Amino acid sequence: MSNSKFLQGTRIAPTPISRETTLVELIETTFQAYNAARLREGAQLFAERMLGGDVTVGLTLTGALTPAGLGISAIIPLMEAGFVDWIISTGANLYHDAHFGLGLAMHRGNHQISDITLRDEGVVRIYDIFFDYEVLLSTDSFFREIIRAEEFQREMSTAEFHHLCGKYIAERERVLGLQNQSLLSAAWRCGVPIYTSSPGDSSIGMNVAAMELQGGRLRLNPSTDVNETAAIVLDAKRGGGKSAIFICGGGSPKNFALQTEPQIQEVLGIEEKGHDYFLQVTDARPDTGGLSGATPSEAVSWGKIDPTQLPGTVVCYVDTTVALPLITAYAFAKQQPRPLKRLYDRREALMQRLRDEYARSERR
């Protein structure tokens, strides 16, 4: 029998699946190889290491996740349990999230139906999700209505903008008798800051632009977003803790989350080493050079990931709509809720720490 060091891994000897098999058993004993194994490793990384009491967890969202109901089924529970502390999302995910908080219906559909027929019927399609065109018009009207309020007539970060939107959506949920339908309203309640890396690239941004044509004074400042997200990561490290990034998809939100470390090190000249934990769920390939497929080891070369923490990184090549519910359920089975960090409420204190360290930097 060989004593090779390469034969020290756990022996593949799965337990047969039965009606008594739990989700934890399914993941731990039957997800043995290939992308199933990466999903098992990702679930274990998230539940066993990223959810440590001293870890600040950032979540990024790309792809049409909220229209598929993942805001309600996974993201809101993760926030309420203290398993997600801050978020970077595409604007589209937040726009479609608002449909649920406004009581507007999304339906299962068939992706093979003719889009010409759907257009004639006034039905909009996101692959196999169907909804009435009036859903868009109603949601647009809601955003234009609230953006007219006086508290929006100034410059702010996207986190502050989304916090205010969440307050209004929460009130609409209350009036409609709805509960836990919108991640924007849940983030408002939980003090979870939500940033958008490209605020003009969504229907929310389009409505903000429309209100500017009417004299609206709302200005979303991306520089504030860059500094606030860097401040969140710096505070996590300086407080004796660690920083973890859970990436659903890739794209601009992925880079916006990971660039916090180059912002701290390269631009501001503050000594740091990179994020401690990196978990990505993606269907993008690394060999095309696209960011969505960029690996943790590549991120090390940019200073985005601490090179000593590469064992704390996992990439699962799985559709997010499959992986996120499984990882969420696994985390709830393995961990108790954590106290909410309420990072939104601490933004000014976090920024002051960043300013103080930058003031001592040689890069000024």
- DSSP for 85-97 reads -EEEE-HHHHHHH
Strand partners, 126: 129
Q: Which residues pair with 131 in a beta bridge?
A: 124
Q: What is the largest CA-CA distance in the chain?
A: 79
Mean pLDDT by 10 residues, the chain (364 residues): 84 93 96 95 97 96 96 98 98 98 97 96 97 98 98 98 98 97 98 96 96 97 98 94 95 93 94 92 78 67 70 88 98 98 98 96 81
Ordered by where they begin, the domains of the chain are 31-108+137-358 (3.40.910.10)
Which are the contacts of 9, defined by CB distance < 8 A and separation ≥ 6? none
Q: What's the token pair of residue 205?
A: 């941004």
* pLDDT tens digits along 9-39: 889 999 999 999 999 999 999 999 999 999 9
- Residue of 105, 225, 207, 92 lying closest to 158 (CA atoms): 225
Instruction: Report the amino acid identity of residue 237.
Output: K
Three-class DSSP labels, 220-261: ECHHHHHHHHHHHHHHHHHCCCEEEEEEECCHHHHHHHHCHH
Catalytic residue among 237, 242, 304, 341: 304
Catalytic site includes residue 304: yes
pTM, two decimal places? 0.94
Cα torsion through 143, 145, 147, 149, rounded to 10: -150
CA neighbor of 285 nearest in space, from 296, 293, 277: 293
* DSSP secondary structure of 262-303: HIIIIIT------BSEEEEE----GGG--GGG--HHHHHHTT
Q: What is the pLDDT of residues 275-328, one digit of tens each?
A: 999 999 998 777 777 666 666 666 666 677 777 766 778 989 999 999 999 999
